[in-house]
Amino acid sequence: MDSFDLNSLVRPSVSVMKPYSSARDEFTDFDQEMVFLDANENPFDTGVNRYPDPQQGKLKELLARRKGVSTVNLLLGNGSDEVLDLIFRAFCNPSKDNIISLPPTYGMYKVLCATNDVENREVLLNSDFQPDISAILETVDADTKLIFFCSPNNPTGNLIDPAKIIQVLEQFNGLVVIDEAYIDFAAAESWVSQLSNFPNLIVTQTLSKAYGMAGIRLGLAFASSEIIAILNKIKPPYNVNELTQRSAYDRVAQLDQVDREVDAILDNRERLISALKNIDFVTEIFPSDANFVLARVDNANKRYDQLIQKGIVVRNRSTQPLCENTLRFTVGTSEENIILINALNSI
Ligand SMILES: Cc1ncc(COP(=O)(O)O)c(C=O)c1O
């Protein structure tokens, strides 16, 4: 890849814009006792009467240390959905540019194409749920800005073959986004360690899955400092609220607890897979590196409804290409796992 040029990928309006400068951007020494009369806040202390740190300094320092990157390689957002949207808005010119996504995959890439008026070029995964690299590269044209890999992939659960991702990183002059929402459940290293090798790589992660914090909304993007600077320029000033910054900090400071929960989820995943093997209407179980298992059944609508009757909600993925008659089971607690397995056995 000899002609990657980040400046040529950024939307011209983003290139020339000046970011919004907030009151809290101008004064950043939060440890000093000061009288803050700059941001039109209510001065009476509610615990959250002040705007949050727009750069999330304290949380970002901790996350960067934990992930082995510098803070300049990290952007935080209101869930990884916001981070993905910022990537679209920084690089894709509405009504002109296109991106490539690889169904069956996470549905938000398509939604973000629609909301940003960007063409979604879909190149199906093959029957092993791995990408067809020649087909992807043939689909690229001068207006292709982003290619999305989801690894481990949702809803299929498998990791994408790293050798295939490297082929695209090396041959595509746009940006390659690897969505690692489920990486903490996988028997694989994160692509974050490869950032220095690929200037066109963006990795996204989230605290919604392994970290158990879907309710606070915290997503991460890792990339070169140049890419992160562009995303920082367009992000809403206070996109990560004060309560989120505090509770994420407390959780990330206690990684032992997260690790214990991930271990329990992985044990329960294996138990669920063993149980599914004995259910006669389950015809295929797909290998999983995530906290869910995709399984093919004889009749997904019927089995979905039967589970609902028993008070259990799973996800019917049958409308996704290559996923006819599949159900996606999120791995719950041991108790929830037993309830699910008993229900499956009694159907
Ligand atoms: C692959 C993938 N990426 C991103 C997300 C969104 O994560 P967040 O909660 O951080 O917005 C999800 C949520 O299900 C997902 O499955």
Q: What are phi and psi of 262, to 5 degrees?
A: -60, -45
Q: How far apart are CA 191 and CA 204, in angstroms?
A: 10
19: amino acid identity, one letter: P
Tell me how far the alpha carbon of residue 206 lies from the centroid of ligand 1, in angstroms.
7
Which ranges of the chain would DSSP assign to H, the alpha helix? 6-9, 12-16, 23-26, 57-67, 79-91, 108-116, 133-139, 162-171, 225-234, 242-252, 255-277, 300-309, 334-346
Q: Tell me the pairing of strands 144-150 and 98-101.
A: parallel
Report the 10 Å Cβ neighbour count for 256: 7
Residue 189 CB contacts under 8 Å (≥ 6 apart), including other chains: none
Mutate to test the pocket of ligand 1, among 76, 81, 101 (most ligand atoms within 8 A of CB): 81
135 in contact with ligand 1, CB cutoff 6 A = no
Q: Is the pLDDT of residue 1 over 60?
A: no
Please, which contacts does 306-309 make with residues 24 or more away whose CB atoms are closer than 8 Å?
306/347, 307/340, 307/343, 307/344, 307/347
Paired tokens of 11: 């939307």
Which atom belonging to ligand 1 lies closest to the Cα atom of 207?
10
- The mean pLDDT value for 181-207 works out to 98
Separation of CA 37 and ligand 1 centre (Å) = 38
The CB of 208 under 6 Å from ligand 1? The reply is yes
Cα gap 39→149, rounded to integer Å: 41
* Selection from 101, 72, 29, 37 nearest residue 321 by Cα: 101
SS3 content of the chain, % helix, strand, coil (to 5): 40, 15, 45
Residue 2's pLDDT band, with cuts at 50, 70 and 90, is: low
Report how far ligand 1's centroid is from the alpha carbon of 211 (Å). 13
Region for 125 from its dihedrals, namely left if φ exceeds 0, alpha if ψ lies in -120 to 50, beta otherwise: beta
For the stretch 214-266, pLDDT in tens is: 999 999 999 999 999 999 999 999 999 999 999 999 999 999 999 999 999 99
Amino acid at 24: R
150 lines ligand 1 (CB under 6 A): yes
Of 95, 91, 92, 89, nearest to 77 (Cα)? 89
The pairing of beta strand 74-77 with beta strand 98-101: unpaired
206 close to ligand 1 (CB < 6 Angstrom)? yes
Indicate which atom in ligand 1 lies nearest the CA of residue 208.
9
pLDDT per position as a tens digit, 18-57 = 988 888 777 766 667 889 899 999 999 999 999 999 999 9
Q: Verify whether ligand 1 is closer than 6 Å to residue 219 (CB atom).
A: yes
Separation of 45 CA from ligand 1 center, angstroms? 34
Closest ligand 1 atom, residue 106 Cα: 1
Binding site membership of 248 for ligand 1 (Cβ less than 6 Å): no
- Neighbour-count burial of 249, counting CB atoms closer than 10 A to its CB (0-12 exposed, 13-18 middle, 19+ buried): middle
Assess contact for 165 and 132: CB atoms under 8 A.
Answer: no
> Which of 108, 129, 205 to mutate for ligand 1's pocket (most ligand atoms within 8 Å of CB)?
108
- Only one residue has tokens 């669920």, namely 272
Go through the domains of the chain in sequence order and give each one's CATH number: 6-253 (3.40.640.10), 256-346 (3.90.1150.10)
Residue 239 Cα, ligand 1 centroid: separation in angstroms?
Answer: 17
Per-residue pLDDT tens digits for 77-94:
999 999 999 999 999 999
Residue 1 in contact with ligand 1 by CB distance below 6 A: no
What is the model's pLDDT at position 29?
Answer: 67
- Whether residue 177 contacts residue 87, with contact meaning beta carbons closer than 8 Å, is answered with yes
CA of 80 to the centre of ligand 1 (A): 6
